[in-house]
Structure 1
């Protein structure tokens, strides 16, 4: 019988069709049941997985399957994700009426059997563990075989049978369904919409799957790193109430970070700060809650550093360096500071979701300085956290704007602290409604609270800056003379976004100046308080409330402009917007004092941007200075608008520089809008004639949509000239045929490897694999 089966499977595999049909799997191989696949890295199977299989999965599969938005929730970036498999449930669903049960790896289930109970289905064979069954019963293997038997059509642009939209229908087929799926969708082999993997790569994966698909974790951190972990866990888990409150505050701001210890060389081990029911020295037992501040339901919370063993992805990578200097800084901010904690705050939603209540005992100045020290990281939380994905989530911000911060001496005075305490209820955030919310009634409630707080804030500001004490550029935090976090640029790329240090590119349309209360609310709205599994009401209310916070940040910036010009400039920002929003900051909610800045031209906004850059020049990061791009590529900054309109949001340009070196640049297309007040009608607010582009050195963005490869100076000149002359889709496609690495390029994966190698050189510790889900088909 075994010989017959072997012969049959040999014929099946040779025909390129390893699937049989739903009725036969159980009969031939038995019922599915989870297998024990994880082995030590020191075993033969473990070593082969790490040396031969994991590199293929990372470079060819994880670039599409690695995060919340991975198709079918299939995360091939970790051992746990591979074993968990597929789900037909969407994480990103803005229409669900009730909150969904979370499905976070390591948190919401602790075994493969529990994931099966939650509806996840395997991509590896879970029937009889024979070589034949391990191939025939594996969705992963059959998806690879399907690509081998039905490779990409030999055409530059793929047809309508390929759907690359983020919200495309997902099949998430099980092995029992694979036969009919393959017949209906022969083009859906993996990698989807990209060339197949090489024969050698296929053989590595086939050998691994045939032998049982054993998995192994990467090696544990070195002893020096583990000593640092012990030291930091000791600091975060001291018994005093002051220490416990400080640790809770730190955790709620750092829980998304990839923590590393830079003194231990370039091969960084990354850690996640997690809540555990067990103290340092014992195995971590996760406290699993939807949000980082929810009731842990244990007597004592311990804050632990968990080794992150998954592949690092650019779109979720938030590196945070910890060292002796950082430890001393935290000690001075939270332990040496003069305050007393008599009782730890409640975990009730109305308290825990409101940092102004929960952490009222900690001085405002300590909290604000802590956030300023790692301002890019904090803002990166809503750029790279779960809230980041999708056009509806991101159409609340402009495509390019600069961010500065009010200095602590002005934003964290005793008067400001007293005002925050008096209005802590008005500062409540939508997260107190938890994950099921009614959007309209809740929006009315929170808009009234925001009005109440703003009235108090403006009244205090008008009083503080009366009698000649007017606002000037001295308002800005200057990074203590060395911290580049003091000036940031946020780029929106339609349905993704990026934040970087420095004020990058041409002068933007708007800017934000954040004070402590505003900065804190953005974090607790979009990061700590956001539940990606929440219902439509929760997600909609989060989006609507962010309108208030954006307007507040812009109002802080407007206060530096001539009083007579503020309304005019704001009206230009919000052309054609609904009256309900444009009237939100009218006279009674507006700073009414004149600026202390003397303007000399009829373009005060341009003057102000120049003054702000001069003020912060010592700490402005030069890394992405667009003026450093050489000719002729620099001319791309002045492309005709028709050419700009043709560009995708993010394009990477690699220029060959010698035998094995490359220079890298990013083209960023800035979509102009009459306003960004519309939740659902973004297309109707687009001001296409005002679109611009910026080309910068290096890599900005994590989702390349176009990849250009230029072999020599002649091609660089031809590319720049051709782009300037492109006025329609046909011209753009011709240019791509000459210089681009399309998703259909026969050597796509070789160029992908070059791209990642160059990105690693440029980004260093910030490097992570790019995501190819947004590669254009043009």
Structure 2
């Protein structure tokens, strides 16, 4: 190790005196060529990477370099992402007038050379393979060396030289530009705006990079796992029309999921479309959306190994086991129906699931989605919309979600109703990824009006008989499915969905039926194109307004009809006249009286408690403060804190992740969620104008909740009551700064990585299947 450190110091001294221009790289180290890196990796090199290098990349680098919002599109979650390198092109660009070409890892190019042709530059040396060239020609090495040269932080809050905004001006320098970058941005080494790597970590990465940054190929799957892959692929590739249509439906809903075939965490899969059948190498069909025309005679649904490290913000886990398969069989094959034709992939059909899958009974489709309802909703949060205020400012900060019982509603009359309304359920993706928002919105608005009018008429004509407006309308999970109640939290430009009725009574709630659940998926997941133009993204957001209001309207049907308008007015205070005309118009009014018996004056809160009682057998309790193991006094202090409203809460960030220690030993994680109040959430461009900070609240939960912490804290368990009291008494920005001085683990804190690692380990211990690496792109600097 000492020899390599000495080499590094000498090399830095030499390279610091040299002014390499682009042509000098070629003259010193030869021309760049991806083939220079193509060499066999020895077992020793593979072990070194897996045992020493990869853990550093995972715990120090992936927190910022994952998903579509990785700076410079540099994804360090897999060896293929490292070989791909970086790009100056932005994925998230809210101003582009035309859709851009997708650059999805593993999908839109297969080799480093193909990525070079798409404008990606290497971050590993692709010239002559010598220790000097491998270091000097590596963006990764130059980045960590630049951070090491900067040394330890000397100030608590970093200066304005650092830019931590999500829309910051990314430099994305290739190796030929890196010397100028080092001069212009001497504080922008990696990890950016965080404590430097330890001496040992730096030495490990230096040795690895000097030796050529060798990364092993993936190991073959164990025989037992390969057998399960073949079994599931045979199940998903039947030859008859019904089997093919059912498999297409399953694929279009599960293609983003991380699928597990056994109880362990070692092997995850994605469901993909391939040109080749099971038993042959997968030949991926790369289309912009999962329902785009594959342009092949026969699609094969295959399970492709997911080689990326698990990142929580885009991880949607599902276990494929015999129990799930039996349920799927009962949903899709439990009733006698015929599939008479292949619906094809014409845009006007494929973008509308009610047309494409009309021959599969709505009951079967709905039961399939309910079976994993959290994942169905989670996909819109953890799918392509893994960043963006425009995408999530259409939802409230915290609300509960319930589902209509399929046994109550989905009878023959409902099927006829869906058939009649199919044309009114078209979605924005019918306009491709280049959309004119105004004209599209007007058309969809008229269709939604027609649909809601027909829906109200259906309820009016059947209420009191087939569709009772009482608690029997609510799906209870059959007594064992904990997807029956969900809580959604919005954290400004991202969100979380968890099982259970978490936190205090929310301002609003949704009651979701099949058409609403299906449209949420095809609007924000299957039909949303992160590479689409600004019009596509805006009309998607505007359409989601309709769906939110519909879910709220469904919930209000369980309240006395004389309450509904007043509650709706409270939810939509200070909205424009256009929105008022829509919300209070006749076509979304249902005059049938609720059949729920109320005995108190606060009907909405009473309804919440009735729903809690109905769903008690399946409510997830793992986020409850009682699950922390803290003593009664500490739990009371946390509940007192959670009861605070307004005041100094306005100064809190969206998500605080708190490590609780006992004499420095990590014990528990708490999450503090800032629920920001709004008069309404109907404004696309002036959200701040609708803020009501005096109504803000917070939710405290056991464990990690939120994939993008804004601040880390460390609190000794013996100081938990003092911490809670200090939080509750916040009044000013200065008070919050004092709180951070006492308990905060700022970006500059010398214990930052210790706390980060402890939170990650406890998160994995508490929720081994759901947990993953947290994202640090939203860490504050104050």
Fold-level similarity (TM above 0.5): yes
Deviation at 1:652, TM superposition (A): 1.2
Mapped to 1, the partners of 2:19 and 2:751 lie a distance apart of 29
Matched position secondary structure for 1:499: strand
TM-score (norm 1): 0.96
Residue 610 of structure 1 is matched in structure 2 by 609
Mapped contact 1:354–1:428 kept (Cα < 8 A): yes
Mapped to 1, the partners of 2:8 and 2:693 lie a distance apart of 60
Mapped to 2, the partners of 1:8 and 1:79 lie a distance apart of 24
Residue 448 of structure 1 is matched in structure 2 by 446
- Give the alignment partner of residue 664 of structure 1, picking from 666, 669, 680: 669
Unaligned 5+ segments in structure 2 are: 1-5, 629-634
Residues 41 and 419 (structure 1), Cα distance of their counterparts in 2 relative to 1, 3 Å cut:
farther
Is 2:514 the partner of 1:516? yes
Residue 209 of structure 1 is matched in structure 2 by 209
Please give the residue correspondences for 1:237-252 in structure 2 after superposition, counting only pairs within 5 Å. Answer: 237-252=237-252
Mapped to 2, the partners of 1:18 and 1:83 lie a distance apart of 27
Deviation at 1:8, TM superposition (A): 12
- Give the alignment partner of residue 483 of structure 1, picking from 459, 472, 481: 481
Mapped to 2, the partners of 1:510 and 1:140 lie a distance apart of 47
Deviation at 1:482, TM superposition (A): 0.6
Mapped contact 2:512–2:551 kept (Cα < 8 A): yes
Mapped contact 1:98–1:535 kept (Cα < 8 A): yes
Is 2:320 the partner of 1:361? no
Please give the residue correspondences for 1:391-410 in structure 2 after superposition, counting only pairs within 5 Å. Answer: 391-410=389-408
User: 1:37-78, CA deviations, whole angstroms, 9 ceiling, x for partnerless residues?
Assistant: 477776222222111111111110001101100000000111
Please give the residue correspondences for 1:597-676 in structure 2 after superposition, counting only pairs within 5 Å. Answer: 597-626=596-625, 630-657=635-662, 660-676=665-681
Mapped contact 1:18–1:145 kept (Cα < 8 A): no
Mapped contact 1:246–1:334 kept (Cα < 8 A): yes
Matched position secondary structure for 1:178: helix
Mapped contact 1:17–1:149 kept (Cα < 8 A): no
Mapped to 1, the partners of 2:247 and 2:51 lie a distance apart of 39
Deviation at 1:30, TM superposition (A): 2.0
Residue 346 of structure 1 is matched in structure 2 by 344
Residue 3 of structure 1 is matched in structure 2 by none
Please give the residue correspondences for 1:62-73 in structure 2 after superposition, counting only pairs within 5 Å. Answer: 62-73=62-73
Mapped contact 1:274–1:304 kept (Cα < 8 A): yes
Mapped contact 2:265–2:769 kept (Cα < 8 A): no
Mapped to 2, the partners of 1:13 and 1:753 lie a distance apart of 33
Mapped to 2, the partners of 1:148 and 1:397 lie a distance apart of 43
User: 1:394-431, CA deviations, whole angstroms, 9 ceiling, x for partnerless residues?
Assistant: 10000000000000023322111111111111111011
Mapped contact 1:294–1:347 kept (Cα < 8 A): yes
- Give the alignment partner of residue 743 of structure 2, picking from 712, 732, 739: 739
- Give the alignment partner of residue 709 of structure 2, picking from 678, 692, 704: 704
Residues 352 and 656 (structure 1), Cα distance of their counterparts in 2 relative to 1, 3 Å cut:
same
Residues 251 and 39 (structure 1), Cα distance of their counterparts in 2 relative to 1, 3 Å cut:
farther
Is 2:682 the partner of 1:677? yes
Mapped to 1, the partners of 2:185 and 2:478 lie a distance apart of 59
Residues 178 and 587 (structure 1), Cα distance of their counterparts in 2 relative to 1, 3 Å cut:
same
Deviation at 1:644, TM superposition (A): 1.6
Matched position secondary structure for 2:590: coil
User: 1:685-706, CA deviations, whole angstroms, 9 ceiling, x for partnerless residues?
Assistant: 1011000001111111111111
Mapped to 1, the partners of 2:746 and 2:387 lie a distance apart of 24
Is 2:65 the partner of 1:60? no
Mapped to 1, the partners of 2:293 and 2:17 lie a distance apart of 51
Mapped to 2, the partners of 1:497 and 1:348 lie a distance apart of 33
Matched position secondary structure for 2:488: strand
Mapped to 2, the partners of 1:446 and 1:573 lie a distance apart of 23
Deviation at 1:215, TM superposition (A): 1.4
Mapped to 2, the partners of 1:13 and 1:528 lie a distance apart of 52
Mapped contact 1:19–1:142 kept (Cα < 8 A): no
Residues 673 and 235 (structure 1), Cα distance of their counterparts in 2 relative to 1, 3 Å cut:
same
Mapped contact 2:452–2:587 kept (Cα < 8 A): no
User: 1:415-455, CA deviations, whole angstroms, 9 ceiling, x for partnerless residues?
Assistant: 11111111111111011111111110011011111111111
Residues 8 and 727 (structure 1), Cα distance of their counterparts in 2 relative to 1, 3 Å cut:
closer
- Give the alignment partner of residue 326 of structure 2, picking from 313, 325, 328: 328
Please give the residue correspondences for 1:396-435 in structure 2 after superposition, counting only pairs within 5 Å. Answer: 396-435=394-433
Structure 1 stretch displaced more, 206-215 or 7-16:
7-16
Is 2:434 the partner of 1:436? yes
Residues 774 and 198 (structure 1), Cα distance of their counterparts in 2 relative to 1, 3 Å cut:
same
Deviation at 1:466, TM superposition (A): 5.1
User: 1:209-252, CA deviations, whole angstroms, 9 ceiling, x for partnerless residues?
Assistant: 11111112443432222211111101001111111000000000
Is 2:713 the partner of 1:726? no
Mapped to 2, the partners of 1:369 and 1:8 lie a distance apart of 60
User: 1:262-286, CA deviations, whole angstroms, 9 ceiling, x for partnerless residues?
Assistant: 44xx333110000000000010111
Deviation at 1:768, TM superposition (A): 0.5
Is 2:699 the partner of 1:694? yes
Residues 552 and 640 (structure 1), Cα distance of their counterparts in 2 relative to 1, 3 Å cut:
closer
Residues 609 and 223 (structure 1), Cα distance of their counterparts in 2 relative to 1, 3 Å cut:
same
Residue 291 of structure 1 is matched in structure 2 by 289
Deviation at 1:468, TM superposition (A): 10
Deviation at 1:659, TM superposition (A): 7.6
Residue 549 of structure 2 is matched in structure 1 by 551
Deviation at 1:640, TM superposition (A): 4.9
Residue 760 of structure 2 is matched in structure 1 by 756
Structure 1 stretch displaced more, 96-105 or 729-738:
729-738
Mapped contact 1:16–1:148 kept (Cα < 8 A): no
Please give the residue correspondences for 1:152-191 in structure 2 after superposition, counting only pairs within 5 Å. Answer: 152-191=152-191
Mapped to 1, the partners of 2:625 and 2:546 lie a distance apart of 32
Residue 260 of structure 2 is matched in structure 1 by 260
TM-score (norm 2): 0.96
